[in-house]
Structure 1
Amino acid sequence: MTSTSEQPLLVACAAEQDEPNPYLLGVYAPVGEELDTADLQVIGKIPADLNGVYLRNGPNPRHQPEGRYHWFDGDGMIHAVHLENGKARYRNRWIRTKAFEAESAAGKALWTGVMESPKGNPFGNHHGLGLKDNANTDVIFHRGRVLATWYMCGTPYGIDPLSLETLGAEDFLGTLVGDMMAHPKVDERTGEMFWFDYGPRPPYLRYGVISADGKVVSTTDIELPGPRLPHDMAITDNYAVLMDLPLIQDLEAARQGRHKITFDRSMPSRFGVLPRYGTGDQIRWFEASPCYIYHVVNAWEEGEEVVLDVCRVQRPQPSADAHTPLAKMLSYLRLDASLHRYRFNLRTGRTTEAQLDDDNTEFPTVDSRVVGTRNRYSYTVRISPESTLKFDGLVRYDNLAGTKTEHLFGPGRWGSEAPFAPRDGAAAGSEDGYLVTFVQDEREGRSELDIFDAADLAAGPVARVLLPQRVPLGFHATWIRADQLGTDRR
């Protein structure tokens, strides 16, 4: 075991009001050690046909925050468990972004967060948004390396999937100009990656494709009425699906140097469908009822229709009784989402939409090998009724049978995003595999990696890998198969 001890000593209060900030306490409190621990203790037995690595990104502030802390402000840290031949190894590392290195050299925080004015911050993203790019949001596997991304659109950072070494800002062989959003889509059948870039000034949205050899080969501007905050996108065999949703940037606040968003219920949601290598003038817009969408489940084509499954948020705004900045943040981070399906008819231009489930679920995953094609199974985490964002269980949806299965972690136990991990050699799109997730036991102050049989979720974990330190609650995760780990990591 190796470790680097840099334990943060953070005051868990919001500035000025002196209110305790729960996103710096308990199950959210940052950890200060970077560990590398092999031969972890296992309750049960790790399946012999499960080989690969589970990685999860999330905020882990290294220095005392300047001003009021928002959960999105923390420095990115990846926690990973590598499973091989029934053995488990844990490793965690901060993501060494440009901002992280600058603060490391200074020995203190140099940036304020999203709840403060960014005017005095050293630098921001390519669009001039002065917030700190922490690369703390997602982890995407492409061409042998992991990309760590940021929710507000920033620089993707290359990460080695085993050592977790930061390989540096990823510019795709010098072809990426600008930023990349948090959730690019990879088509494993072709090796291509699809992405967009957005900002507060024209062009408000830019869409692009990265080829299997790692170069940006197509970009186009997408005309929008004004600045938006899109978070995710979808692909099908022939199309990309982009979003223009009525969660918009407050222009008056922007002129005052503040970052503020507003949900305008008088505006429709719009979904743009364009050919994968299309140009902005080829996009077709489909209107639907107002909402916000953080995360796409998947999309595919059925005859003349493009079908899109999402986790749809109906009220992406603080509750009316949230008056203080901290109360507004707590309210805003309380997701209220449900599984929803859109159909866009490419011949008639008609949109149809329907709610598929009324349970509050989010952070969806499918077998990564079927992204862009029709999937039978999808998986989400269940949102607890707690005042802060916590995942209290897993949900499995069977789109063919129209059924769902749940597993609840139990009192005081909270999970992470749970990607599907196929058994070695399993066919794409089947349920022949596992779900893997970190679970933090709030009562015991302990974290573990739980492994579930994807076909029998209700039976509970087949194995629990006990981790050498607590893993704070965080954001997105991915599973990388053993056969992918041998690919080119240049």
Structure 2
Amino acid sequence: MSIQGPSSKRTAKHPYLTGNFAPVTKTWPPTPVTWTGDIPEELHGGMYVRNGGNPVTNSHLGREAHWFDGDGMLSGVWFHRSHTDPRQSVVNFVNQFVLTDVYLSAADNGELQTPILPSISTLVNPASSLFFILWRILRTLLIVILSHLPGSRHAIKRISVANTNIIFHDSRALATCESGPPIRVTLPSLETVGWYDGNRAEGEAPLQETRDSDEEQRPGFGGAGPLSWMKEWTTGHPKVDKVTGELVLFHCNFAPPYVHYSLVPTEISHANEAQSQLPRILNAPVPGCSGGKLMHDFGVSRLHTVILDLPLTLTPLNLAKNKPVVSYDPNRPARFGVFPRRHPELVRWYETSGCCIFHTANAWDETDLYGNVTAVNMLACRLTSASLVFSAANIVPPPHPARKDLTRSKPMSFFARYHQQEQNQDVEKLSMDETSPLLVASVSGNKNTGPSKTPSSVPMSYDEQEQCRLYYYRFSLCLSTSNTITHQFALSSIPFEFPTVSPITDMDHARYIYGCSTSVESFGAALGKATKIDVLVRMDVKALLARAQRYRPEAVTGCVDNRTIDEILASEDPNDPIKAFKLPPNHYGQEARFIPRGNQTGLTVNDPAFLEESGHLLFYVFNEDQLDVAGECTANSKSELWVLDASTMRNVTCKIHLPTRISYGLHGNWFTEDQITGQRGVETLRSLSDNKVDNKWTRMQRNLTSRLG
């Protein structure tokens, strides 16, 4: 791709596929790297791994695309304990593609011009015609059929790209994505084993012969039948209960009852042997869901599960209503289905104002003096619009019904920061610098906002239709004629996404929630500009909820702490319930993961400060000073893994220098030394085929594939 100078005419590029959003195609086996600072002893022997999409087909980016597209790539840093000194680490970096059926087929067919799966941008774009969408779907179906012809080296049995998350359950590391079941990978090499169906992963060694025969007879995710593959579509955010060892997950599809639910106990010996005998639930229907939805996450407490039935639909039936396959209607209610963990048939539905929620932060049960559960509480990152879904596809979001008092100005060009000459030619930028919010609004008749001296002093709530806040919900379980959400309000007005808690207090009443924020724009970024993370935040949930008891916020629209991100960053109060760490200029981070300090096996829940505050946040960082004049990464651009002291939210204790860059991606996890050493055995691994078969069948297949584009 040629690089043009500042005065050259350029065509606009997709904001989520340029700069450090552009895919990384080179893989690295475990490679020793250097670092500065001190590696905390809690990291020795463990590994941090992050998942994200890296398109293989047509990776030069000349196509319609969405940030959530792309083949899964795992990028990890392994703190291998030194053989000579166990108190030290030999740090290794490794990244590998997840070898899904789709990836293997795409890598084997160089004739493909566009990815096998339709882009999410095709499904959300109101300009996509019915014919175009049906053609994309038919094209995928034809490629799948061709992959099953004689001579094909890789048959596509599942269409998942496994690019969203990575978890650990029952001695398996599992990469996840909504478009299929989890797929097992190995640690620390990140090699692909095979699909996991709720009983066993392809390619892994059985625990024992009798158990293996029982596994073969049990149905897996989706059950049996010609449409079972649709029931395998699994949330990208399965939950693992650290106490019981259970894996909790749900599956969405387009046909009633729309949502199925699975609960998989551990088979490897657990701390409590009785917990290994917990019942297994696969594909149990959750009654009452209102239709096919784009469900990304859900809430799980120790005893209950919360399904999010929100007005963001995902169904081909939308086409019959002259709507995109993915459509958002904020006039419809947000519905929450709450049920006891092992009884989805007892679901109770709660309704409130429409919203979008992609990630929940935590959920916990509330009990009375007799131990009876009286309510389920949940913290979630609540968006008041679906702008992110469209902006991540570089598509203008549909206007929000409540935006009649707001006027959006022309979005700032993504390339403004790199070309002063272009800035001088853009009349809009004569009154805006490149730190200005993208969604500039003129407000009439809004008593809560007023003129601002500087853009950064305006809270992100300035546009009430572009919020992304950490919200608190309380679902009452008291027996009554109606299901009531007794509390629903924001803890803070600042943007908050990609939440994480201490693994020890997950599914319990955690005190601290950690997450990502931004100092410039909301997470629903405007057209032509991608959202980037430059602030990490720690919220004291218990302190904020205690304040809410004294000064009850207004339902739905209320907020406990109305300060801006600048005011929070400037705070010197050691007891401030919100602490924030701002990255240096031009540095941008990714989702952080919390690792508790000390010997985790000896911790008790009686010391919340030690469990939740005294620890480390691990996250990838990229310095955009490495971008060239056109805003693209140079060939030698590199990222780092930073270790932030979570107790102070100020001190970076260690920086791991990586041999390559890590493109801005999605979700990661921390794997302990015991998890790495205690993985199940593996018999076979997936791999790319080196020897190509050349016969009339393969030539016909390649010819037909090339004609499909």
Q: TM-score, normalised by structure 1?
A: 0.88
Distance, in Å, in 1 between the alignment partners of 2:2 and 2:313 is: 33
Is 2:43 the partner of 1:50? yes
Is 2:189 the partner of 1:163? yes
SS of the equivalent of 1:71 reads coil
Q: Which amino acid aligns with 1:272?
A: G
CA distance 1:40–1:302, shift in 2 (3 Å): same
Query: Map of 1:111-130 to 2, 5 A cutoff?
Result: 111=116, 112-116=118-122, 117=133, 118-123=136-141
SS of the equivalent of 2:625 reads coil
Tell me if the contact between 1:288 and 1:353 (Cα under 8 Å) persists in the aligned partners: no
Tell me if the contact between 2:621 and 2:639 (Cα under 8 Å) persists in the aligned partners: yes
Is 2:183 the partner of 1:138? no
Q: Which amino acid aligns with 2:506?
A: V
Deviation of the 1:203 alpha carbon: 2.5
Return the match for 2:670 from 470, 479, 483.
Answer: 479
Match of 1:275 in 2: 340
Match of 1:29 in 2: 22
Match of 1:326 in 2: 394
Deviation of the 1:67 alpha carbon: 4.1
Return the match for 2:613 from 415, 418, 431.
Answer: 431
Structure having the larger proportion of residues in helix: 2
Match of 1:341 in 2: 472
Q: Which has the higher contact order (CA 8 A, sep 6+)?
A: 2
Cα RMSD of the aligned pairs, angstroms, is 3.1
Q: Which amino acid aligns with 1:98?
A: D
Q: Could you report, residue by residue, the CA deviation over 1:386-422 in whole angstroms, capped at 9, with x for unpaired residues?
A: 7202111210112233301111112211111111112
Distance, in Å, in 2 between the alignment partners of 1:31 and 1:279 is: 41
CA distance 1:257–1:60, shift in 2 (3 Å): farther
CA distance 1:203–1:399, shift in 2 (3 Å): same
Tell me if the contact between 2:21 and 2:663 (Cα under 8 Å) persists in the aligned partners: yes
Deviation of the 1:27 alpha carbon: 0.8
Is 2:54 the partner of 1:60? yes
Q: Which amino acid aligns with 2:234?
A: M
Query: Map of 1:157-196 to 2, 5 A cutoff?
Result: 157-173=183-199, 175-177=220-222, 178-196=232-250
Match of 2:375 in 1: 305
Structure having the larger proportion of residues in strand: 1
Q: How many residues align?
A: 468
Tell me if the contact between 2:159 and 2:179 (Cα under 8 Å) persists in the aligned partners: no
Return the match for 2:646 from 454, 475, 479.
Answer: 454
Q: Could you report, residue by residue, the CA deviation over 1:357-377 in whole angstroms, capped at 9, with x for unpaired residues?
A: 111010000112322111111
Q: Which consecutive aligned stretches of 4+ in structure 1 deviate over 6 angstroms post-superposition?
A: 329-332
SS of the equivalent of 1:443 reads helix
Distance, in Å, in 1 between the alignment partners of 2:192 and 2:314 is: 32
Match of 1:4 in 2: none
Give the % identical residues. 30
Deviation of the 1:40 alpha carbon: 1.6
Match of 2:501 in 1: 366
Match of 1:6 in 2: none
Tell me if the contact between 1:69 and 1:115 (Cα under 8 Å) persists in the aligned partners: yes
Q: Could you report, residue by residue, the CA deviation over 1:242-268 in whole angstroms, capped at 9, with x for unpaired residues?
A: 111111236554459995322222222
Tell me if the contact between 2:65 and 2:393 (Cα under 8 Å) persists in the aligned partners: no
Is 2:357 the partner of 1:293? yes
Match of 1:220 in 2: 284
Deviation of the 1:186 alpha carbon: 0.6
Return the match for 2:78 from 72, 82, 88.
Answer: 82
Distance, in Å, in 2 between the alignment partners of 1:470 and 1:283 is: 45
Rg larger in structure: 2
Please, which runs of 5 or more residues in structure 2 have no aligned partner? Answer: 4-9, 81-87, 123-132, 145-156, 200-218, 223-231, 269-278, 368-373, 401-438, 440-465, 545-576, 606-610, 627-636, 682-709
Q: Which amino acid aligns with 1:241?
A: V
Tell me if the contact between 1:114 and 1:131 (Cα under 8 Å) persists in the aligned partners: no
Is 2:487 the partner of 1:442? no
SS of the equivalent of 2:240 reads strand
Distance, in Å, in 2 between the alignment partners of 1:340 and 1:432 is: 24
Q: Which amino acid aligns with 2:662?
A: V
Tell me if the contact between 2:166 and 2:174 (Cα under 8 Å) persists in the aligned partners: yes
Distance, in Å, in 2 between the alignment partners of 1:50 and 1:477 is: 15
CA distance 1:250–1:341, shift in 2 (3 Å): same
Match of 2:97 in 1: 94
CA distance 1:238–1:49, shift in 2 (3 Å): closer
SS of the equivalent of 1:368 reads coil
Q: Could you report, residue by residue, the CA deviation over 1:115-135 in whole angstroms, capped at 9, with x for unpaired residues?
A: 33232333499xxxx995211
Distance, in Å, in 2 between the alignment partners of 1:89 and 1:121 is: 41
CA distance 1:18–1:250, shift in 2 (3 Å): farther
Please, which runs of 5 or more residues in structure 1 have no aligned partner? Answer: 1-8, 12-16
SS of the equivalent of 1:46 reads coil
Match of 2:573 in 1: none
Q: Could you report, residue by residue, the CA deviation over 1:165-214 in whole angstroms, capped at 9, with x for unpaired residues?
A: 01111113252222211111110111101111111222311111011128
Distance, in Å, in 2 between the alignment partners of 1:294 and 1:239 is: 19
SS of the equivalent of 1:327 reads coil
Match of 1:14 in 2: none
Deviation of the 1:148 alpha carbon: 1.2
Deviation of the 1:25 alpha carbon: 1.5
Q: TM-score, normalised by structure 2?
A: 0.62
Distance, in Å, in 1 between the alignment partners of 2:28 and 2:365 is: 45
SS of the equivalent of 1:470 reads coil
